[in-house]
Structures are given as structure tokens and as C-alpha cells.
């Protein structure tokens, strides 16, 4: 383990529910928001522009990686990672117990979450938490 200015660094493995939600909300904002300066869309756009301007042997490979990154993000708006893994287990291993679809796409859930966070806290049912559906996915 590397030594920091105050001794060996430690990695915390257990986080409270609030820490998980706050950390995931920041990640989600960066990945999904088009208004965030460091958003996935903005960073990918900058990297694509820079890669496209280069005329070296790695140009096509860099552009291909950025396209694959964009395509993966699009795919994850249509199906959750959990769903994609189950689909692969069914297709590749014949594990038909995993052959079921989630009721809603991540893109749909994200659209609801955005509406919930803009609404008044009193308009939500008591105990409702717009980020709670993310917790099971980030603990997998």
C-alpha cells in the first residue's frame, strides 16, 4: 500500500447508505447529465474532437474506443447491467432461470428520478427515496 503524507493509505470498504447514495448521485450526475461540465457527454465530445484532429497511427483506434464507449452508454440506458448479464447467461450458458426482463429501462427510471428531484419533498410519499432503486445495482 502506498505511503501518503500521513502514513499508509487505507481503503474503506463499508459505506453507510447515505454515503452510497451521495457518491452514486455524483457519479450519476457526471455520467448522465448534459449540463455537468465534466459529464460523460462533454468529456467524450472533447476527446473525440481531439482524437479526430490527430493524424497518427492511433487515431482510428482512439475514435473506435470512443465510439464503443458511446455505444455502451446508450445500451445501458436501454437495459441495466444486471439485465445484460442475465441476457448473456441465457444466450451463452442456457441458464433460462435468468430469462426475465426488468419492468422499466434505466433511461425511463432516470427520467422519473429527474422529475422526483425537481418536485417538492412534500409531494413524494412518506419514505419514498428517488435514489433507492440504484442501491441494489451498485452493490452487485
Predicted local confidence at residue 112, as pLDDT: 79
What value does the mean pLDDT take over residues 82-109? 92
For residues 38 and 34, give the distance between their C-alpha atoms in angstroms, rounded to a whole number.
9
Predicted local confidence at residue 140, as pLDDT: 35
* pLDDT digits 0-9 by tens, 112-124: 765 655 554 444 4
* pLDDT digits 0-9 by tens, 20-52: 777 777 777 777 777 777 788 888 899 999 999
For residues 43 and 133, give the distance between their C-alpha atoms in angstroms, rounded to a whole number.
27
Predicted local confidence at residue 58, as pLDDT: 92
Phi, psi of 136 (to 5 degrees): -65, -35
Give this prediction's pTM.
0.57
135: pLDDT confidence band, cut at 50, 70 and 90?
very low
For residues 72 and 80, give the distance between their C-alpha atoms in angstroms, rounded to a whole number.
11
For residues 19 and 133, give the distance between their C-alpha atoms in angstroms, rounded to a whole number.
15
Lookup result for grid cell 470498504:
13
Cell of 50: 481531439
2: pLDDT confidence band, cut at 50, 70 and 90?
low
The three-class DSSP label of residue 7 is strand
Predicted local confidence at residue 114, as pLDDT: 56
Please state, rounded to an integer, the average pLDDT across all residues of the chain: 77
The residues, any chain, with a CB within 8 Å of residue 90's CB and separated by 6 or more, are: 96, 98, 99
Amino acid at each position: 500500500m502506498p505511503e501518503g503524507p500521513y502514513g499508509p493509505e487505507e481503503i474503506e470498504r463499508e459505506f453507510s447508505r447515505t454515503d452510497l447514495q451521495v457518491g452514486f448521485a455524483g457519479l450519476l450526475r457526471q455520467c448522465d447529465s448534459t449540463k455537468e461540465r465534466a459529464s460523460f457527454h462533454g468529456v467524450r465530445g472533447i476527446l473525440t474532437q481531439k482524437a479526430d484532429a490527430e493524424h497518427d497511427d492511433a487515431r482510428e483506434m482512439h475514435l473506435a474506443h470512443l465510439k464503443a464507449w458511446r455505444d455502451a452508454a446508450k445500451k445501458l440506458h436501454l437495459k441495466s447491467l444486471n439485465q445484460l448479464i442475465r441476457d448473456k447467461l441465457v444466450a451463452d450458458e442456457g441458464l433460462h432461470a435468468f430469462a426475465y426482463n426488468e419492468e422499466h429501462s434505466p433511461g425511463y427510471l432516470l427520467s422519473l428520478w429527474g422529475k422526483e428531484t425537481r418536485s417538492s419533498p412534500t409531494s413524494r410519499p412518506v419514505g419514498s427515496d428517488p435514489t433507492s432503486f440504484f442501491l441494489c445495482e451498485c452493490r452487485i
